[in-house]
């Protein structure tokens, strides 16, 4: 219940605290920079580091959704997106990954021991890798069922990246959260000192 209560106050606190606004903008710029570094052979089948899990753990659900959307809009300014491709990018780089990451966080918080290492290795590392794989698999299924690409094209040029991208995504999110909860734990809104450090 504490997590959900915090989420309801997220936007109110954002408007009231300039330092929080700075944090949201900074994370948006970091995500936008990460998303500029991408690879892809076919249109809309792009591979890049998401960083969504770290953003979700730091900001919570609502602010991570806002931050990721701002990052995508920044990316839009530097690349040519059609309305359809922007909608697809918003769905598969923002909406679904944030929902998936936050859902994993809630599941881990409810089912596993509240311990420092569980938070880092399961909540950030493994959840980050799973989010990257989920993004690629879900977008592959979408492009297949809408008839944009056939399954052979998707499996040969895109789907197998779900295995390759798992580790770098997991490393980036895990390292970012480790550094933050070591040096600036008060910046990470889903990390509670009394619960995770008293074990």
Nearest Cα residue to 67 out of 17, 130, 132, 10: 10
- Please give the share of the chain, as a percent, with pLDDT higher than 90: 54
- CATH topology assigned to domain 2-37+44-196: Arp2/3 complex 21 kDa subunit ARPC3 (1.10.1760)
Q: Is the pLDDT of residue 97 over 60?
A: yes
Measured between alpha carbons, how far is 40 from 107 in angstroms, rounded to an integer?
Answer: 33
User: What distance in Å separates the CA atoms of residue 154 and residue 121, rounded to the nearest whole number?
Assistant: 31
Banded pLDDT at 11 (limits 50, 70, 90)? low
**pLDDT tens digit sequence for 158-180:** 888 878 889 999 999 999 999 99
Question: Residue 116: which residues within 8 A CB-CB, separation 6 or more?
Answer: 181, 196, 197, 199
Model-level pTM? 0.88
State the pairing for strand pair 38-40/46-48: antiparallel
Share of the chain above pLDDT 70, in %: 90
**pLDDT value of residue 98:** 96
Tokens of 15: 């408007």
List Cβ<8 Å contacts ≥24 apart for 32-41: 32/70, 32/71, 32/72, 32/74, 32/75, 35/71, 35/72, 35/75, 35/93, 36/75, 36/78, 41/157
Tell me what the mean pLDDT of segment 131-149 comes to: 92
Is residue 100's pLDDT more than 50?
Answer: yes
The residue-averaged pLDDT of 64-93 equals 86
The tokens describing 91, both together, are 């769905």
Give the chain's mean pLDDT: 87
pLDDT per residue as tens digits for the range 27-40: 999 999 999 888 77
pLDDT number for residue 9: 66
Query: Taking a C-beta distance cutoff of 8 angstroms, is the pair 14, 63 a contact?
Result: yes
Residue 86 has pLDDT above 90, yes or no: no
Task: Show the CA angle centred on residue 135, arms to residues 107 and 125, nearest 5°.
Answer: 50
């Amino acid at each position: 219940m504490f997590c959900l209560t915090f989420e309801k106050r997220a936007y109110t606190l954002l408007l009231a605290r300039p330092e929080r606004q700075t944090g949201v903008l900074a994370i948006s710029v970091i995500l936008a920079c990460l998303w500029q570094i991408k690879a892809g052979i076919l249109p809309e089948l792009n591979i890049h580091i998401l960083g969504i899990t770290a953003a979700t753990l730091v900001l919570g659900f609502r602010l991570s959704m806002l931050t990721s959307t701002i990052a995508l809009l920044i990316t839009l300014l530097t690349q040519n997106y059609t309305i359809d491709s922007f909608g697809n990018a918003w769905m598969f780089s923002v909406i679904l990954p944030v929902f998936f990451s936050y859902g994993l966080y809630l599941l881990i918080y409810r089912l596993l021991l509240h311990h420092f290492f569980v938070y880092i290795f399961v909540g950030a590392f493994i959840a980050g890798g799973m989010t990257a794989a989920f993004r690629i698999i879900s977008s592959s299924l979408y492009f297949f069922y809408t008839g944009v690409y056939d399954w052979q094209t998707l499996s040969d040029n895109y789907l197998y990246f779900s295995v390759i991208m798992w580790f770098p995504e997991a490393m980036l999110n895990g390292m970012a959260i480790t550094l933050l909860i070591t040096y600036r734990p008060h910046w990470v809104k889903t990390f509670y000192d009394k619960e995770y450090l008293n074990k």
